[in-house]
Amino acid sequence: MSGQTAVILAALITVALPILAAAILAGGDKTRLLYALLGAATFLVFEYLLRFPLLSLLSNESLSFILFSQTQPVLYPLALSLSAALFEEGGRYLALRFLVRRRAFEDGVAFGIGFGGVESIALVGLPLLSVLITKEDVSGAMVLISAAERVFTMVVHIAFSVMVLRGVEKKRVWEILAAFALHTVFNFIALALQVAGYPVYVSELFILGFMFFMLGYILYVRINILGHAEKGDAA
Amino acid sequence: MKKAAAALLCAAVLLTAACSPQAFEFDEDAAVAAAKDVIDLVYMLDFDAVCALFREDVREMVSAEALGAAVAPILDGAGRFVEYTKAKAVAYNDKQYGEIIIVAVQAKYENEKLTYTVSLGRDFSLVGLYIK
């Protein structure tokens, strides 16, 4: 497959797929569509308006931070992972706690699609569109790998959204903390594998494996909810 | 709000960094002065002289032409040198380059601020140079 064909395919996956997924899940439900948009806005606010500028401020202005990044191959990825989990799960908690009134399973999924979808569009989709316009020469395989990674992480974001939504709904702090801890571990291992110089497919395989783990959680919650509904019907 | 959060994050990083001891003892002032000598040569676009400062094992991997091609455009946009604003150094045991001193120096130019990260051997021979 040529580089340009791969870019078109990857752009479709990273831009069209999340939009399509949100539209299909919402159906005619405007509230659910609104929650998908809220998920997208939460990511943009907590990453693009808060965390990225803060990290940029630190890496431009703080020499201690620059030296820390150069000399701490374990603590630096850990600090980045902790900050990502803090801002993303913190943002998710605040949005789901104070802005989302209807807290059905599908609402959490819609929020997660918006959150992970806009990340996919912003981090890979839009840069790929600019590659398409400039006709830059790129590796087709790498482009497809990065698109696949966005699909995997979108599933992970859906799972985290469902986890935090359940934590908020059932007032279970441990579920919110579990999302924070799993997010930190997920980011840290993926980053550490790259920093340690492993080939890119190793970290992608890890992300794929983690996606299946989180997919298992989503299915568990879904089946659990269906089970409760059936028991309710029988009673 | 942003500044408070940045300060908090910075404090956490500093605390962690403060807890990690230096890999070895070194004269920080001398290391910073050696790094500034390198930066002065870079500003004068004397890349042959910069290359001559590289430690022998690193020198064979860099050329004055390649260095000039990478660095000159950055300095072109920066404008006239004004002053060094801050500098800091740490000792580090690198897997590839052994015991090195990493010096971060911020320099103010007419149009922008640049941050140099200069890696030096224990004898202050040049091991690495990064400009942002």
Task: Say yes or no to pLDDT of B1 above 90.
Answer: no
d(CA A41, CA A39): 5
For residues A88-117, average pLDDT: 97
Task: Say yes or no to pLDDT of A3 above 60.
Answer: yes
For residues A170-182, average pLDDT: 96
Mutate to test the interface with B, among A56, A67, A75, A195 (most CBs of B within 10 A): A67
Q: Nearest to residue A217, comparing CAs of A123, A136, A112?
A: A112
* pLDDT the model gives residue B5: 56
A13: containing domain:
3-234
Task: Say yes or no to pLDDT of B17 above 70.
Answer: no
C-alpha distance from residue B81 to each of B53, B74, B111 (Å): 22, 13, 9
- Give the gap in angstroms from C-alpha B111 to the nearest C-alpha of chain A: 15
CB-CB contact of B51 with B41 (8 Å): no
Residue A225 CB burial class (10 angstroms; 0-12, 13-18, ≥19)? middle
User: Chain A residues contacting B, CB < 8 Å?
Assistant: 50, 53-54, 57-60, 62-68, 70-72, 75, 79, 83
Better-predicted residue by pLDDT, B24 or B108: B108
Instruction: Name the pTM for this structure.
Output: 0.84
Confidence band of B4 (pLDDT split at 50, 70, 90): low
Q: Which fold has domain B25-131?
A: Nuclear Transport Factor 2; Chain: A, (3.10.450)
* pLDDT the model gives residue A140: 86
Q: State how many domains chain A has.
A: 1
Q: Could you report the per-residue pLDDT of B22-68, keeping only the tens digit for each?
A: 788 999 999 999 999 999 999 999 999 999 999 988 988 989 999 99
Task: Say yes or no to pLDDT of A57 above 60.
Answer: yes
Going from N- to C-terminal start, the domains of chain B cover 25-131
Confidence band of B7 (pLDDT split at 50, 70, 90): low
Put simply, the answer to whether A72 touches B20 (Cβ < 8 Å) is yes
C-alpha distance from residue B36 to each of A38, B79, B111 (Å): 49, 18, 20
Q: Could you report the per-residue pLDDT of B65-98, keeping only the tens digit for each?
A: 999 999 989 998 899 999 999 999 999 998 888 9
* pLDDT the model gives residue B60: 87
Distance from the Cα of residue A67 to its chain's centroid: 29
